[in-house]
């Protein structure tokens, strides 16, 4: 069956269901995890953008991102998978739909108001920025600026890290990308993902959500930021005031609008069903159970489950047959 018209999130329409069966052990298990409800890793930081090709060139040209190849079984042509560091989540890029080969129940699914990208758009709950680690901030910033990258701030203040050197640049669709200097960091690529900054309405509610559902662990906290490790990546959770924002000016995520930004984050599992069942028992409502995904009416290696954070950020638990770690196949 096909997914019916759903009221939330752009990526939901990507799920054309070829079978009513839920994903049962859709990938071989690796070494037994200590916590069967924990994901293998954060695996997907997914931008939807009206500047898709520019975004792709931006990450490849300026940050050394490597396009990653999917498994040969029915690869998804509308997504670019870009690895900044080989052991971490990919940054995934997609343009605005509709997408050839993806069936939708609602023919008006993509008839949304498109918000033109601009640096002056109000802040929105969800992923507020991605931060990259660099060993030398001044050198990195000088190189980026010389190559035409728009600098948003040369002296960027990180919540809870007042002495850490940081700067911010704009992506081609005016999302913030923060550079954080870690002189002693051992990088195996030009840059690495340092942290993901979440702008949240209530820190306590989000800590509970990410702890319950994705087994996140609080590493530290202060008045400005709560640092969590979730899926082997660092997340910083901050309310508006901690980021110098007026709560009244921060907007909610609106399913009736298309705004270029990180639409969703995805966590990889060897088998998502135990984590789904655990979260459901705890009372969390899913838009979609872990369900097989067809593309051009043929099966893919993927099964997706979807739910939302307290602030409406789409979060996915998924499996991919044959993969239980970071993507390793570099595209030619």
pLDDT of 109: 76
Count CB neighbours of 248 within 10 A: 8
pLDDT of 32: 40
Domains, in order of start, for the chain: 10-111+259-320 (3.10.180.10), 126-249 (3.10.180.10)
In the numeric block, the tokens 């202060």 are attached to: 222
pLDDT of 103: 83
Do the Cβ atoms of 59 and 65 come closer than 8 Å? Answer: yes
- List phi, psi (to 5°) of 220: -165, 165
pLDDT of 187: 95
| H-run or E-run covering 286 | strand 286-295
pLDDT of 206: 98
Write the CA distances from 99 to 11, 36, 104, 255, integer angstroms. Answer: 11, 34, 10, 18
Q: What angle do CA 136, 261, 329 make, to 5 degrees?
A: 65
287: left (phi over 0), alpha (psi -120 to 50) or beta: alpha
In the numeric block, the tokens 């008006």 are attached to: 108
Spatial separation of the C-alpha atoms in residues 63 and 288, rounded to whole Å: 34
Count CB neighbours of 69 within 10 A: 14
In terms of DSSP H, where are the helices of 44-176? 52-63, 137-146
Spatial separation of the C-alpha atoms in residues 32 and 12, rounded to whole Å: 31
Give the strand pairing for 113-115 and 166-170: unpaired
In the chain, which residues have pLDDT < 50? 1-33
Q: Confirm whether pTM is higher than 0.85.
A: yes
pLDDT of 23: 30
pLDDT of 71: 87
């Amino acid at each position: 069956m096909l997914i019916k018209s759903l009221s939330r999130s752009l990526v939901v329409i990507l799920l054309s269901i070829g079978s009513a069966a839920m994903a049962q052990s859709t990938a071989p298990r690796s070494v037994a995890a200590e916590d069967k409800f924990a994901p293998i890793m954060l695996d997907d930081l997914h931008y939807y953008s009206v500047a898709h090709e520019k975004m792709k060139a931006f990450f490849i040209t300026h940050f050394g991102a490597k396009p990653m190849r999917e498994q040969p079984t029915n690869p998804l042509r509308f997504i670019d998978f870009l690895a900044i560091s080989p052991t971490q989540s990919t940054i995934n890029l997609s343009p605005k739909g509709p997408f050839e080969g993806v069936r939708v129940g609602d023919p008006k699914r993509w008839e949304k108001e498109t918000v033109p990208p601009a640096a002056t758009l109000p802040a929105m709950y969800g992923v507020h920025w991605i931060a990259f680690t660099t060993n030398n901030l001044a050198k990195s910033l000088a190189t980026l600026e010389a190559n035409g990258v728009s600098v948003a701030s040369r002296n960027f203040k990180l919540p809870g890290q007042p002495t850490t050197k940081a700067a911010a640049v704009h992506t081609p669709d005016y999302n913030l990308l923060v550079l954080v200097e870690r002189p002693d960091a051992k990088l195996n690529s030009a840059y690495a993902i340092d942290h993901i900054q979440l702008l949240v309405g209530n820190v306590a509610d989000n800590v509970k959500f990410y702890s319950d559902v994705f087994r996140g662990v609080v590493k530290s906290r202060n008045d400005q930021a709560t640092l969590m490790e979730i899926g082997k990546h660092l997340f910083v959770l901050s309310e508006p005031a901690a980021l110098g924002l007026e709560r009244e000016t921060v907007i909610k995520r609106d399913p009736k609008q298309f705004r270029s930004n990180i639409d969703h984050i995805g966590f990889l599992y060897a088998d998502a069903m135990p984590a789904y069942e655990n979260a459901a028992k705890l009372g969390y409502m899913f838009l979609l159970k872990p369900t097989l995904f067809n593309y051009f009416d043929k099966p893919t290696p993927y099964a997706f489950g979807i739910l939302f954070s307290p602030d409406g950020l789409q979060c996915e638990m998924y499996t991919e047959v044959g993969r239980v770690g970071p993507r390793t196949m570099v595209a030619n």
